[in-house]
Amino acid sequence: NHIVHNGGLYKRPFNEAFEETPMLVAVLTYVGYGVLTLFGYLRDFMRQWKIEKCQNATEREEQKDFVPLYQDFENFYNRNLYMRIRDSWNRPICSVPGAKVDMMERVSHDYNWTFTYTGRVIKDIINMGSYNYLGFAQNAGACQEAAAKVLSQYGAGVCSTRHEMGNLDKHEELEKLVARFLGVESAMAYGMGFATNSMNIPALVSKGCLILSDELNHASLVLGARLSGATIRIFKHNNMQSLEKLLKDAIVHGQPRTRRPWKKILILVEGIYSMEGSIVRLPEVIALKKKYKSYLYLDEAHSIGALGPSGRGVVEYFGLNPEDVDVMMGTFTKSFGAAGGYIGGKKELIDYLRTYSHSAVYATSMSPPVVEQIITSVKCIMGEDGTTIGEARVQQLAENTRYFRRRLKEMGFIIYGNEDSPVVPLMLYMPAKIGAFGREMLKRNIGVVVVGFPATPIIESRARFCLSAAHTKEMLDTALKEINEVGDLLQLKYSRRRLVPLLDRPFDETTYEETED
Amino acid sequence: MDVKSTKNFVFWLFCQFELITCSYLMEPWEKVLFYSFNLSMVGMLFYTTYVCAAAHVSTGLQFLWNLLGNQHENAVSVVK
């Protein structure tokens, strides 16, 4: 019974919600940060007056009169806040990061300044942190056998760049396959996903062009945009009114000083934003792009393989035409169990990138076993290896996502993001709860990733769960039971059950948010 | 046993206090410093309440009693 507005652009309901921070929780979070800041100042004072041993990096004695290096807020935060909860990050794992993982136990005797390994290995920790959406992180099975065969045939190193002697027949095969998978004319693969973004955006835009980038874009997109030298304007996260206003201003006013029209307008968005779990409003972005004659660069790092009825990403999820997106970029790290990135689009674009991209000219090409892993996993997802494993995995991931999100919402946690995104951020807010959550979950044999400042705004720290097709329902039930327990122990169930669904109708001054109690 | 569940509840409340004020993350000597500061603040609050507020409350009660007493006397004189 869902009445669709926006001119019927959306063929399916778009349910995204970001529940507002409760006022009391925000105040108490600031109180916590205030106390830690005061103690930080006390400790810095003691370190400077040599009452306490200084274990962090400082300048040498001879350089004490120079401009201070470690006085900014980032270093203060690092010394006094991050160090206290550091044991939740950089945990060493010693097995394949599948649905269950083994971790090496470590203890710290001086409050996280140094770690020692006890020698014990904690086995079978339920892995809720790895980007393993379709479960291809395996050390057994068809992908592993094919990769082992290619390893014995080609070796591990390529010892050259794509331009020189590093263009293997495996790379050509991979690129044709990826182009077929995405439904584009041509594609090119690179050895590193971050480098794909940061090295190719400068090849596409330059000074005199305009980049409209989402507020919460990944560091690789931001770096690529800054390296290109183009003018960058930011629009509010997933907010189409903000984007349209910027587009209108760009067309009407042109470049800042000379008022000439912009050479190119490029819109940078991501398929799934990994910190929020939100999905881009792609039908509206494409409608705007066509109306104002600009180009679209879609970064499907987290959404390829994870969304869509056959795993072909956010374009298939919304039922759109892949030819509408000018540059489709993605990574092989998350859903394909390998490493690297790709860019897909029209043949002229990809031929241009083959010649002018920094990554193609200077970076070593992908290692052959990794290429074979991608080829085998893409064929598996498409169903061309003769089995239905790929289709089953895509469906299992969708089921797991819906089940997990529904159960967490019912328990009363604040969960951000879209109903269909396999990235589930659970809000923690207070700094002590970041450390406490990570440690308590590890005690109960579940590995989670907790995120705080500077990856998120300072009061909105969260725990981020990444669901996988390899998680069985029993694993999810165990995890949910433990999360429920830890939620009661740490009082994390902040939700006041006031769901504020984002507006699906045209925005004007008379609309206001709906609340349901 | 009721005593045990009350003890557990008090301990849980104390854990919540520790988490909110981030004393969960502090080293033992920092905790000692922080708790002694907090307890001294609370102690001073109680002392101030006892010294000043008690005096105010007793003055107020006396005033009220006088008011009621006068009313009673006036009423009695009229009836007489």
B25 and A432 in contact by Cβ < 8 A? yes
Same domain, yes or no, for A39 and A146? no
Q: A319 and A403 share a domain?
A: no
- Choose the mutation target among B11, B25, B29 for the interface with A, i.e. most A CBs under 10 Å: B25
Structure tokens at B22: 């981030």
User: Distance (Å, rounded) from C-alpha A313 to C-alpha A395?
Assistant: 13
CATH number of the structural domain spanning residue A358: 3.40.640.10
Task: Assess whether A252 and A364 both reside in one domain.
Answer: yes
Widest distance between CA atoms in chain A: 74
**pLDDT tens column, A7-48:** 678 888 888 888 889 999 999 999 999 999 999 999 999 998
Give dist(CA A134, CA A278) in Å, integer.
19
C-alpha A426/C-alpha A433 separation (Å) is 12
pLDDT of residue A416: 92
Place of tokens 């095969």: A173
- Whether residue A442 is predicted with pLDDT greater than 90 in this model: the reply is yes
What 3-state DSSP class applies to A333?
coil
* Three-class SS state of A417: strand
The span from the CA of B68 to the CA of A254, in Å, is 82
What's the pLDDT score for residue A498? Answer: 56
In this structure, are A206 and A280 located in the same domain?
yes
- CA–CA separation, A415 vs A480, rounded Å? 14
Which residues constitute the domain of residue A153?
Answer: 142-382
If one counts every other C-beta atom within 10 angstroms of the C-beta of residue A93, the result is 17
pLDDT of residue A454: 86
Residue A136 domain-assigned (yes or no): no
Position A198 scores a pLDDT of: 94
pLDDT average, residue stretch A501-512 = 46
The Cα-based distances of A252 to A106, A234, A259 in angstroms read 60, 17, 9
pLDDT for A233 equals: 95
Q: Domain containing A111 — which CATH number?
A: 3.90.1150.10
Of B21, B26, B34, the CB nearest to A31: B21
Domain ranges of chain B: 3-78
Whether A172 and A276 share a structural domain? yes
Indicate the range of A7-16, A101-110, A335-344, B26-35 predicted with least confidence.
A7-16
Domain count for chain A, please give it. 2
Report the run of H or E that residue A273 belongs to, with start and end.
strand A272-273
- Summarize the confidence of residues A431-454 as an average pLDDT: 93
ipTM of the complex as predicted: 0.79
Residue A377 clears pLDDT 90, i.e. is over it: yes
My answer on whether A373 and A428 are in the same domain is no
Min Cα separation B48/chain A (Å): 25
List, for residues A44-93, the tens digit of each pLDDT value. 999 988 888 888 888 888 888 899 888 889 999 999 999 999 999 999 99
In this prediction, residues A252-270 reach a mean pLDDT of 94
**Is the bond preceding residue A322 a cis peptide, omega within 30 degrees?**
no
Question: CB distance from A32 to chain B under 8 Å?
Answer: yes
Write down the H helix ranges in A159-276: 169-182, 193-204, 219-228, 240-253
Q: Are strands A423-427 and A462-466 parallel, antiparallel or unpaired?
A: antiparallel
Verify that A357 and A257 share a domain, yes or no: yes
Tracing tokens 């009169």 back to the chain, one arrives at: A65
Helix then strand count (H, E) for chain B reads 3, 0
Residues A88 and A228 in one domain: no
Q: Is the pLDDT of residue A1 over 50?
A: no
CA dist A364 and A189 (Å) reads: 12
- A327 phi and psi angles, rounded to 5 deg: -125, 115
For residues A213-234, give the mean pLDDT: 94
**Average predicted confidence (pLDDT) for chain A:** 90
| Contacts for A298 with CB less than 8 Å, ≥ 6 apart | A269, A270, A271, A280, A282, A314, A315, A325, A327, A328, A329
Residue A39 domain-assigned? yes
pLDDT of residue A516: 37
* Residue A511: predicted pLDDT: 41
Give the residue from chain B lying closest to A433, CA to CA. Answer: B19
Contacts of A106 by beta carbon, 8 Å cutoff, 6+ apart: A87, A91, A92, A115, A116, A117, A118
Interval A139-163: pLDDT, tens: 998 899 999 999 999 999 999 998 8
A383-420 tens-digit pLDDT? 988 889 999 999 999 999 999 999 999 999 999 999 99
A288 touches B: beta carbon within 8 Å: no
Give the nearest partner residue to B25 out of A85, A489, A490, using CB atoms: A85
Residue of chain B nearest A430, judged by CA positions: B20
What pTM, to 2 d.p., does this model score? 0.88
What's the confidence (pLDDT) of residue A508? 45
Pair (A424, A322) in one structural domain: no
Asked if A83 is an interface residue toward chain B (Cβ–Cβ < 8 A), one would say no
**For residue A432, which residues of chain B lie inside 8 Å, CB to CB?**
18-25
Rg (CA), chain B: 24
Average pLDDT, chain B: 86
What is the mean pLDDT of the segment spanning B45-74? 84
pLDDT of residue A55: 85
Average pLDDT over residues A474-485: 94
Would you tell me the crossing angle of helices A73-80 and A23-48 to the nearest 10 degrees?
Answer: 90
Of residues B16, B20, B34, nearest to A31 (C-beta): B20
Q: How far apart are CA A143 and CA A152, in angstroms?
A: 14
Q: How many CB atoms lie within 10 A of CB A347?
A: 12
Question: Burial level of A517, CB count in 10 A (0-12/13-18/19+)?
Answer: exposed
CB A6 within 8 A of CB A284: yes
Percent of chain A whose predicted confidence (pLDDT) is above 70: 95
Banded pLDDT at B78 (limits 50, 70, 90): low
Report chain B residues whose CB lies below 8 A from the CB of A35: 21-23, 34
Q: Do B22 and A28 touch (CB under 8 A)?
A: no
- The reply to whether A340 and A396 lie within a common domain is no
pLDDT at A509: 42
Contacts of B20 in chain A (CB under 8 A): 28, 31-32, 430, 432
Burial track A331-344 (b if 16+ CB lie within 10 A, e otherwise): bbbbbbbbbbbbbb
Query: Quick check: is A3 in a domain?
Result: no
**Rounded CA separation A168/A173 (Å):** 9
